[in-house]
Structure 1
Amino acid sequence: MSSERSQDEPRVVTASREIEAPAEVIFELIADPRRQPGWDGNDNLAEVVHGERIHAVGDVFSMRLTNGKVRDNHVVTFEEGRRVAWRPASEGQDPAGHEWGWEVEPLEEGRSRVTHVYDWSELTDESRLARARGTTAEHLRASLDRLSEVARG
């Protein structure tokens, strides 16, 4: 496929599932970069390099990937206990135009609906387009499934 943007090419991928754990437990796993490698369904995250638990838009945390590269993640959405999203960037650079997001909705009896969103609608970095196109709902579901396992203990 050409790297030119197709008008009908979907650039937002989502996956949702119910998890048998309270929303606050799930959100804590997502908002703490130190915990992210434990539930990353793509086995892409090795360790946190810099950054604490996310508390606000504007926070930045850095992750070492399994390939050794470091990504600075700029938080662009934050609602405590409910929503968080960040835009990754190569170390020391501006974000590349894609975004990873999470929404956690409390349900009855200590369960939650979790939605994972990958939005690459503003991605222009040619070197990242193939990987972005390859990120499917199944990839997002893999993280949701692992998150469920970790949240349930």
Structure 2
Amino acid sequence: MTTPEETKVVSATRDIAAPAAQIFELIADPSRQPAWDGNHNIAHADAGQRVQAIGDVFRMTLHNGNVRDNLVVEFEEGRRIAWCPSSEGQPPAGHLWRWALEPEGEGNTRVIHTYDWSQLTDENRMERARSTTPDMLSASLEKLAAAVEST
């Protein structure tokens, strides 16, 4: 049961010294996400799933062996991408991962990473949703920054 004060939308923001297009390529290519996943959740995603549009579905395998289908529900090339995960072959469970990129001058981008579980109804996922903190999202941002700022 959720308490009234429970936050169901968590986010983290970081300025990254890289162009938005370069950062977006890492986010929009699921096969590259396991390398910078700060939630320690994604084990593997096959190559060739680069997101192109709303309605795309990409698949990831989690560290626990479960497979997630991810339905893209927001997409603006170089600026925004969001997806709703589900168990393999099932409808989305009601939570969403979003990345928003805001260019901040030449070669710099503000990146906002959000996890929204306000529509989550699957009781089996509530504990994991509650345990997702802004610090975990910040860890992904730190790893993402390290990946693009070192190139």
TM range (shorter): over 0.9
Whether 2:103 is the aligned partner of 1:93: answer: no
Q: Report the CA distance between 1:6 and its aligned residue.
A: 2.5
1:60 corresponds to which residue? 57
Whether 2:37 is the aligned partner of 1:40: answer: yes
TM-score calculated relative to the size of structure 1: 0.94
| Equivalent residue letter for 2:51 | I
> Is there any run of 5+ residues in structure 2 with no aligned partner, and where?
none
> Is there any run of 5+ residues in structure 1 with no aligned partner, and where?
none
* Partner deviation per Cα, 1:29-69 (whole Å, 9 max, x = no partner): 00001111111112211111476110111000000111111
Whether 2:140 is the aligned partner of 1:136: answer: no
Q: Report the CA distance between 1:5 and its aligned residue.
A: 2.9
* Residues in 2 aligned to 1:124 and 1:56: alpha-carbon distance in whole angstroms: 26
Cα RMSD between the aligned structures? 1.2
| Equivalent residue letter for 2:3 | S
1:147 corresponds to which residue? 144
| Equivalent residue letter for 2:113 | H
Secondary structure at the counterpart of residue 95 of structure 1: coil
| Equivalent residue letter for 1:134 | S
TM-score calculated relative to the size of structure 2: 0.95
The answer to whether the Cα contact below 8 Å between 2:113 and 2:137 also exists between their aligned partners in 1 is: yes
Paired-residue identity, %: 59
Mark the CA change 1:51 to 1:126 in structure 2 (over 3 Å): closer, same or farther. Answer: farther
The answer to whether the Cα contact below 8 Å between 1:50 and 1:61 also exists between their aligned partners in 2 is: no
* Partner deviation per Cα, 1:74-109 (whole Å, 9 max, x = no partner): 000001110000000001111100000000011113
1:11 corresponds to which residue? 8
